[in-house]
């Protein structure tokens, strides 16, 4: 938020609306006039847990940026919580990053070899280091230079001594929109945050665009030489974004309903009820029901007081959450032929547990319908999918999956149906997790987790005492 007397408070409410995008940590950095020290509050957990009333009072100023973290690179610890702040020759800078860089490991190695000291193991910090040491021989501004060196996915908000900046990578993997409230401007990952604070939606930040909000108002430039090739993550439409948000001018819930309709056309079945897996399958199930004429029954009841299961990194907790999250209304499904609709099958844990619940409750037939294609490839741009060898669709044939899940039949939406439902051309999407066609190449040795692995390797290779001598003397 730029240019509003309640900048931090509005950022706080905005983060509430974006909580689904990350639940590990939350943070806000605010600033008053030029050269007064940035105010910072970061903590582990949900927005509602991290900030006290006093914190919000302390976060004074007319500019603020905030972040909720969902980690793909760097461990889930307080030190990796964002926004990250640094003091540089250009003054204070704070950054909040959504997405995953594919060359962060290599850039970091270069920077460290040159003497840079990193505070975190996130890829985002690399951007700050690059900004703080532009090459005067090249010109073009510190930020433009930094962005020309990082590859992969980034939607960024940056706060400097005078300005607030929103920037999107040339592919536009992750969303970023501009809003306006009174005389202030807002950058947000999704439009649902603008709705909450009563701000007006201005437009999306375009792929490859850098938008600056300062005393002069808004101005924009495109620092990249290559023309952008759009590659918005299609999984934002399928699962990640909130249903009340607009992406690429399309409402997400409506796209999900159309996915359900396509699914019913592709994989019809004789059944008595359509049951969504809440909340992820809710809209697709509605579409399936509308198209097929089979009545919708919300037979699964969700406990809303636990987080999104996939964000907890440990497998043990994931399995527990699958059970604690949903309960079934037995009488609704007993003796019935059930179509159960979910948005995606990743490892298969959720779908398998749901079929078991339905069988135990006496469902006569269970037909699984999934509103996206089988996941077969990793995401290198900011969605945390497991290693491809752990993806169910890579471990088994369609028949084996059906048997493993304990279902009577299984049907996935195909790529064409999914894209058609979004009402945007296929050329505008990144479909890599389904097709293996990666818009930005990546070196496997430079992939996510590389920063952690390098650190672990260094620790295991060098005995502690030796390391101390080597680095400090
Ligand atoms: P799984 O149990 O691993 O098959 O997870 C599938 C369920 O988790 C679906 O209901 C999805 O909505 C949800 N999900 C979405 N994204 C992810 C992700 N990145 N990792 C794991 N699960 C996800």
Q: What percent of the chain has pLDDT over 90?
A: 80
pLDDT at 75: 80
In the reported structure, the alpha carbon of residue 239 is separated from the centroid of ligand 1 by a whole-number distance in angstroms of: 9
> Could you report the per-residue pLDDT of 389-405, keeping only the tens digit for each?
999 999 999 999 999 99
In the reported structure, the alpha carbon of residue 371 is separated from the centroid of ligand 1 by a whole-number distance in angstroms of: 12
Q: Where are the domains of the chain?
A: 7-227, 247-442
> Could you report the per-residue pLDDT of 272-327, keeping only the tens digit for each?
999 999 999 999 999 999 999 999 999 999 888 765 544 555 565 555 666 677 88
Cα separation of 97 and 225, whole Å?
A: 22
In the reported structure, the alpha carbon of residue 309 is separated from the centroid of ligand 1 by a whole-number distance in angstroms of: 8
Going by alpha carbons, the residue nearest to atom 9 of ligand 1 is: 344
CA of 352, closest atom in ligand 1: 2
Q: How much is the pTM?
A: 0.92
CA of 277, closest atom in ligand 1: 10
Whether the pLDDT of residue 122 is over 60: the answer is yes
* b/e per residue 363-396 (b: at least 16 CB within 10 A): bebbbbbbbbbbbbbbbbbbbbbeeeeebbbeee
Cα separation of 2 and 192, whole Å?
A: 18
Three-state secondary-structure class, residue 370: strand
Going by alpha carbons, the residue nearest to atom 23 of ligand 1 is: 310
Whether the pLDDT of residue 371 is over 80: the answer is yes
Q: What percent of the chain has pLDDT over 70?
A: 90
Q: Which CATH number fits domain 247-442: 3.90.105.10, 3.40.50.2020, 3.90.180.10, 3.90.380.10?
A: 3.40.50.2020
> Could you report the per-residue pLDDT of 426-452, keeping only the tens digit for each?
999 999 999 999 999 987 766 555 555
The whole-number average pLDDT for the span 179-183 is 97
In the reported structure, the alpha carbon of residue 342 is separated from the centroid of ligand 1 by a whole-number distance in angstroms of: 10
Q: Is 204 in the pocket of ligand 1 (CB under 6 A)?
A: no
The whole-number average pLDDT for the span 190-200 is 98
Q: Is the peptide bond before 83 cis (omega within 30 degrees of 0)?
A: yes
pLDDT at 473: 47
Contact 127, 157 (CB under 8 A): no
In the reported structure, the alpha carbon of residue 344 is separated from the centroid of ligand 1 by a whole-number distance in angstroms of: 6
pLDDT at 320: 64
In the reported structure, the alpha carbon of residue 16 is separated from the centroid of ligand 1 by a whole-number distance in angstroms of: 22
CA 442 to chain centre: 19
pLDDT at 316: 59
pLDDT at 324: 75
pLDDT at 451: 53
Q: Which CATH number fits domain 7-227: 3.10.450.50, 3.60.20.10, 3.40.50.720, 3.40.50.2300?
A: 3.60.20.10
SS3 content of the chain, % helix, strand, coil (to 5): 40, 20, 40
In the reported structure, the alpha carbon of residue 314 is separated from the centroid of ligand 1 by a whole-number distance in angstroms of: 14
Whether the pLDDT of residue 464 is over 70: the answer is no
> Could you report the per-residue pLDDT of 209-242, keeping only the tens digit for each?
999 999 999 999 999 887 778 999 999 999 999 9
Whether the pLDDT of residue 462 is over 80: the answer is no
Cα separation of 436 and 434, whole Å?
A: 6
Q: Which structure tokens are listed for 297?
A: 């029954």
Ligand 1 pocket: which of 309, 344, 357, 407 to mutate (most atoms within 8 A of CB)? 344
Ligand 1 pocket: which of 72, 310, 389 to mutate (most atoms within 8 A of CB)? 310
């Amino acid at each position: 938020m730029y240019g509003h007397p309640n900048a931090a408070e509005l950022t706080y409410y905005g983060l509430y609306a974006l909580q689904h995008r990350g639940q590990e940590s939350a943070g806000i950095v605010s600033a008053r006039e030029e050269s007064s020290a940035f105010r910072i509050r970061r903590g582990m957990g949900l927005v509602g847990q991290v900030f006290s009333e006093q914190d919000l009072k302390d976060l004074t100023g007319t500019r603020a940026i905030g972040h909720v973290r969902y980690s793909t690179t760097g461990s889930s610890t307080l030190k990796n919580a964002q926004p990250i702040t640094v003091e540089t020759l250009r003054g204070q800078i704070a950054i909040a990053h959504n997405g995953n860089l594919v060359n962060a490991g290599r850039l970091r190695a270069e920077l460290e070899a040159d003497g840079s000291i990193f505070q975190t193991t996130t890829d985002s910090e690399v951007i700050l280091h690059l900004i703080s040491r532009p090459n005067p021989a090249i010109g073009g501004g510190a930020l433009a230079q930094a962005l020309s060196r990082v590859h992969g996915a980034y939607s960024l908000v940056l706060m400097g001594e005078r300005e607030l900046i929103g920037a999107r990578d040339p592919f536009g993997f992750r969303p970023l929109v501009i809003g306006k409230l009174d005389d202030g401007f807002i950058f947000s990952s999704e439009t649902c945050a603008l709705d909450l604070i009563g701000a007006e939606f201005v437009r999306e930040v375009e792929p490859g665009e850098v938008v600056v909000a300062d005393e002069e108002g808004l101005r924009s430039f495109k620092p990249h030489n290559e023309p952008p090739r759009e590659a918005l993550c299609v999984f934002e439409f399928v699962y990640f974004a909130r249903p009340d948000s607009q992406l690429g001018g399309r409402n997400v819930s409506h796209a999900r309903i159309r996915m359900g309709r396509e699914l019913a056309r592709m994989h019809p079945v004789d059944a008595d009820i359509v049951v969504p897996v809440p909340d992820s399958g809710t809209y697709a199930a509605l579409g399936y029901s509308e198209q097929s004429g089979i009545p919708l029954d919300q037979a699964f009841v969700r406990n809303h007081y636990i987080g999104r299961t996939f964000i907890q990194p440990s497998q043990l907790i994931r399995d527990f959450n699958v059970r604690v999250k949903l309960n079934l209304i037995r009488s609704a499904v007993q003796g019935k032929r059930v179509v159960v609709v979910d948005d995606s099958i990743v490892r298969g844990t959720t779908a398998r547990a749901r079929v078991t619940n339905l069988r135990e409750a006496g469902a006569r037939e269970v037909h699984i319908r999934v509103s996206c294609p089988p996941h077969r490839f990793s995401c290198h741009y900011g969605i945390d999918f497991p290693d491809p060898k752990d993806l169910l669709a890579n471990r088994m044939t369609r028949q084996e999956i059906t048997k493993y899940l304990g279902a009577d039949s299984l049907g996935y939406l195909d790529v064409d149906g999914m894209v058609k439902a979004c009402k945007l051309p296929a050329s505008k999407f990144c479909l890599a997790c389904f097709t293996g066609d990666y818009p930005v190449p990546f070196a496997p040795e430079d992939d996510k987790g590389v920063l952690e692995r390098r650190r672990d390797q260094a620790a295991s290779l060098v005995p502690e005492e030796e390391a101390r001598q080597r680095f400090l003397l």
